Amino acid sequence: MNILAFETSCDETAAAVVKDGREILSSVVTSQTSIHARYGGVVPEIAARSHIEVIAGLCERSLCDASVTLRDIDAVAVTVAPGLIGALLVGVNYAKALALSLKKPLIPVHHLRGHIAASYLEYKDLEPPFLAAAVSGGHTQLIAVRGYTDFEIIGTTRDDAAGEVFDKVARVLGLPYPGGVALSRLAEDGNPYAFSLPNCRVDGNGCDMSFSGVKTAAMNILNTASMRGEQISAADLAASFEHAVTEAITERVVLARNLTGLDTCVLCGGVAANKKLREKLLKSLGNQVIIPSVYLCGDNAAMIGAQGYYELREKKVARSDCNGYATFSVNQSFKCIM
């Protein structure tokens, strides 16, 4: 079963061909980073227009790289939520038109389910149930993956996502967009214990977390120093901030694992590329933690093709009124034919 998949939820346009949910035949990703960098963040309308310009070319390239033609495609999968609505609609409409013209099923895929499924492409024996820590620019959630299409949210950020605060603190540190990678590189030369920052705990569900406090605290340290004309080490602040965020996530993952009894934990999403977070989870969970290679952590379409395979197995085929949704919970289902 060959699935042609598309991802356009934010600032990456991606197309891929995935065989039987587990094998990448091709995966092409075009980043709009250089376009948005001058604005210091993603400009939604520019993102949508840029997707339109490149999606057809990427589709052709993904087929060519996979050495297949449209005749070899059994289904089309696309990210329909969550994300920037204008950006999502480009992928949804392109995939819808393609599926219609090929007379093949269109499979609607949730972006976070895709991030989780990225691990199936590298860990061929991995099967639910397991715990997933999905940490990206838009989400930070601990999810019990009970089955390939059965998800329960165990813990979530109450405010900002981890990737979002990495980007915001990086911005005030004067680092280029997208800031997560740059901040973590700067942190390599810093002392993670130089500044004491909030621990991201919240009342109630112990698996929930809050990142807005640590973000504000880091920004206040910088602002206060600049008002007083004092010099502080940007590397020390970056390292202390990264330490606070990665400690908080690791602590919640360990708690969620104990609460659910799910031993295997999959770390996924863009922030899963963070070296410190990878190291901490490996140290805490040993060989029971599964972390895909960095190229599979960021947004790509192969992960959408992987999850699409399992959605199709459960007959989750989109109706003709298939739409895009800016927000949508990972445990909900899209309107489907059956």
Residues that bind Zn ion (CB under 5 A): 136, 299
Closest approach, Cβ 303 to Zn ion, in A, equals: 9
Supply 48's token pair: 């949508």
Among 141, 157, 274, 307, binds ligand KG4 (CB under 6 A): 274
Q: How far is the CB of 70 from ligand KG4 (least distance, A)?
A: 28
φ, ψ for residue 7, nearest 5 deg = -140, 120
Residue closer to Zn ion, measured from CB, 2 or 27: 27
279 contact partners, CB below 8 Å, separation of at least 6: none
Nearer to Zn ion, 2 or 157 (CB): 157
Binding ligand KG4 (rule: CB under 6 A), the pick from 7, 208, 299, 311 is 299
Q: Which range of residues in 37-45, 140-148, 175-183, 191-199 is near ligand KG4 by CB under 6 A?
A: 175-183
Closer residue to Zn ion (CB): 32 or 136: 136
27 binds, among ligand KG4, Zn ion, none (CB under 5 to 8 A by kind): none
Among positions 3, 10, 42, 267, the unique one binding ligand KG4 when judged by CB under 6 A: 10
Q: Whole-angstrom Cα distance, residue 81 to residue 8? A: 10
- When the beta carbons of 10 and 154 are compared against ligand KG4, the nearer one is 10
Distance CA 119, CA 296 (A): 8
Q: Tell me the residue number closest to ligand KG4, measured at CB.
A: 270
Give 327's DSSP letter: -
Nearest residue (CB) to ligand KG4, 128 versus 270? 270
For the CB of residue 338, give the shortest distance to ligand KG4 in the complex, in Å. 29
Q: How far is the CB of 236 from ligand KG4 (least distance, A)?
A: 17
Bridge partners, 23 (sequence order): 19
Among 105, 128, 213, 269, binds ligand KG4 (CB under 6 A): 269
Total residues contacting ligand KG4 by CB under 6 A comes to 19
Of 239, 222, 219, whose CA–CA distance to 231 is shortest? 222
Helix (H, G, I), strand (E, B) or coil at 161: coil
End-to-end CA distance of the chain: 21
Interaction of residue 167 with ligand KG4, rule CB under 6 A:
yes
Q: Which residues of 101-112 are buried (b: 16+ CB within 10 A; e: fewer)?
A: ebebbbbbbbbb
| Residue placing its CB nearer to Zn ion in the complex, 105 or 298 | 298
Closest by Cα among 142, 178, 139 to 159:
139
**Binding positions for ligand KG4, 110-139, rule CB under 6 A:** 136-138
Q: How far apart are CA 102 and CA 262, in angstroms?
A: 41
Question: Cβ 125 to ligand KG4, closest distance in Å?
Answer: 24
Residue 1 neighbours by CB distance under 10 Å: 13
In whole angstroms, give the CA distance from residue 282 to residue 291: 9
* 180 is a contact residue toward ligand KG4 (CB under 6 A): yes
State the minimum distance, in angstroms, from the CB of residue 165 to ligand KG4.
9
Shortest CB 319 distance to Zn ion, Å:
25
> Can you give 219-243 as a three-state secondary structure string?
HHHHHHHHHCCCCCCHHHHHHHHHH
Angle ∠(211,262,153) on CA atoms, nearest 5? 45
Residue 308 backbone dihedrals phi, psi, to 5 degrees:
-55, -40
In the complex, what is the shortest distance from the CB of residue 168 to Zn ion, in angstroms, rounded to a whole number? 17
Q: What, of ligand KG4, Zn ion, none, does residue 178 touch, CB below 5 to 8 Å by kind?
A: ligand KG4
The residues binding ligand KG4 (CB under 6 A) are 10, 136-138, 163, 166-167, 178-181, 184, 269-271, 273-274, 298-299
